[in-house]
Structure 1
Amino acid sequence: MSENISLPKPYKITDIIKETEIEYTFRVEADLEVEHGQFFQISLPKVGEAPISISGIGDNWLEFTIRKVGKVTNEVFELEVGENLFMRGPYGSSFPINEYKDKDLVVIAGGTGVSPVRSTLKYFYENSDSIKSLYLIAGFKDEDSILFEEDLEKFKSEFNTIYTLDKEKIDGFEVGFVTDHIAKVPFDSFENYNVIIVGPPVMMDAAAKEVLKNGVVEEKIWVSFERKMSCAIGKCGHCKIDETYVCLEGPVFNYTKAKDLLD
């Protein structure tokens, strides 16, 4: 009998990390083949399910950074270490890691958009000799919404980093939106490079237009529509933009395709 790929399975929670008041990272035991940028359907029996991007990949474990925003996530936040999180997946397209190797990489992420690109950042942090350079611009609304503070601090040792808050000034952070700092990236000095942009649709649209102004061609830009994911199997239609099912063809898209999907 073939396996029912739409049937959730239980995975044991081994750690829960409080990132902010409304965002926690859940680590689960999972021996699965996954790729950076993919997502799972997280569920609880008799409650419902929600699509969540992978924020961390390790030996026999996965991490998901979840925001408390509705019925399913509210119930997930009631779980404790040792209990089960139900999941099905992985689903969707991924960031083309091999295409980024031996080149310069620019990552521009806003708010919760740091989550789906975090595993990619950690991969290149741990394999820094596989990439020429990495420029990271990460922006958050305010001090209370900063995610992955330990990772951001570690990244400074290997990456060229710009961290920014929308309107606050604190140590280690600039002021302004991520788009205000894109011109600081020396695109002219790169021979071969790629750009990843992840965040709210308005931010991705503005950031993409800004990097294009700086001479980047569309083919070098990658985005993730992680907020648009839905059932993961192309049945419910909630993620459909024109004729594109984000859960099947995405969430990672090259900008040549994504430019027609942005709100």
Structure 2
Amino acid sequence: MVKNNYLPFKARILAKYQQTELDWTYRLECQAEPVSGQFMEVSLPGVGECPISISDFGEGYIEMTIRRVGKVTEGIDKLAPGDYLFLRGPYGNGFPLESFYDKHLIIAAGGTGLAPVKSVINHFYAQPELLKRCEILTGFKTPTDVLFKSDLEKWSQTFRVEVTVDKLDEFGNLEVIADSCTRRTGLITSLIPDVQIPSLEDVRVIIVGPPVMMKFTAQEFLCRGLAKENIWVSFERKMSCGLGKCGHCKIDETYVCLEGPVFNFTKAQTLLD
């Protein structure tokens, strides 16, 4: 029988964890074996479908952190453990984890861009000996927008973790962010000049976030002397079908859903939208 790649499968919600007022992490029963950085097409019958990054995974489950921002995600927000979502995938190319082995890995994530790299961080948190060093730079709008606070606290026990916010929240402080993380105000690009880089040849960088954030963060690292081929980014762009058929994600001749969403910067710099 020919497999129908457009046919979704049912995935039971095992757990639901609140991250912020708008963001929830869903753990779904799933036998897929994704690669860090891939995405799924998530649907609700009679409502619609949307692409969502896989934030973490393990034996028999995947996790996705979903922000309530539209019709489909508003429908998902009403679901509870025991309910079902419908999934297609995983799709796309992920992060080349072996390229980071025995290197100084720097992960710069803005806002919900922390979700697609969460499984990368957990991979190396479980096996820190695979890296020479790891630093996590994260930026959010306000302290109440910070994702994965308990994970940031956990990661900071092994890696250097910095959290910056564009502005303080109504309480005027940073206390709601994990205690052991370095906390600042300002854009994520303000963190990069203070990063210690003993050897440029050893550094590998992952940048995920809004397009403007990725553009200027990459520029900051290039100004530090980092080679373009040692930077990876992840695009999130109208990946409606996941199969390179609808063309909504296409930039020039590149289908983001097929060749991405993870790109080496040598390719990403040419993808002007």
Q: Normalising by structure 1, what TM-score?
A: 0.97
The answer (yes or no) to whether the contact 1:136–1:159 under 8 Å persists in 2 is yes
Q: 2:174 pairs with 167, 170, 176, which one?
A: 170
Matching residue of 2:64: 64
The CA deviation at 1:229 is 2.7
The CA deviation at 1:63 is 0.2
How large is the Cα RMSD of the aligned pairs? 1.2
Is 2:239 the counterpart of 1:229?
Answer: yes
Matching residue of 1:219: 229
Deviations 1:176-212 (A, max 9, x none): 1110011111224354221000000000000000100
The answer (yes or no) to whether the contact 1:113–1:200 under 8 Å persists in 2 is yes
Deviations 1:51-83 (A, max 9, x none): 000001112110000011111111111111001
The CA deviation at 1:234 is 1.2
- Uncovered stretches (5+) of structure 1, i.e. residues with no partner: none
The CA deviation at 1:103 is 1.1
Matching residue of 2:178: none
Is 2:22 the counterpart of 1:12?
Answer: no
Residue type of the partner of 1:252? V
Q: 1: CA distance between counterparts of 2:71 and 2:12?
A: 21
The CA deviation at 1:227 is 4.1
Q: 2: CA distance between counterparts of 1:151 and 1:3?
A: 38
Q: 1:204 pairs with 207, 214, 228, which one?
A: 214
Range with greater deviation from structure 2 (99-108 or 181-190): 181-190
Deviations 1:104-146 (A, max 9, x none): 1000000010011111011111111111110110011001111
Aligned counterparts, 1:1-263, within 5 A: 1-168=1-168, 169-171=173-175, 172=181, 173-263=183-273
Residue type of the partner of 2:188? V
The CA deviation at 1:102 is 1.3
User: What percentage of aligned pairs have identical amino acids?
Assistant: 50
The secondary structure found in structure 2 opposite 1:20 is coil
Residue type of the partner of 1:75? G
Residue type of the partner of 1:73? T
The answer (yes or no) to whether the contact 1:187–1:215 under 8 Å persists in 2 is no
Q: How many correspondences in the alignment?
A: 263
Q: Which runs of 4+ in 1 moved over 3 A?
A: 188-191
The CA deviation at 1:162 is 1.1
Range with greater deviation from structure 2 (170-179 or 120-129): 170-179
Q: 1: CA distance between counterparts of 2:237 and 2:144?
A: 21
Residue type of the partner of 1:170? L
Q: 2: CA distance between counterparts of 1:29 and 1:46?
A: 22
The answer (yes or no) to whether the contact 2:94–2:262 under 8 Å persists in 1 is yes
Q: 1: CA distance between counterparts of 2:137 and 2:249?
A: 28
Q: 1: CA distance between counterparts of 2:60 and 2:153?
A: 25
Deviations 1:149-184 (A, max 9, x none): 000000101111111111225144211111001111
Q: 2: CA distance between counterparts of 1:76 and 1:132?
A: 40
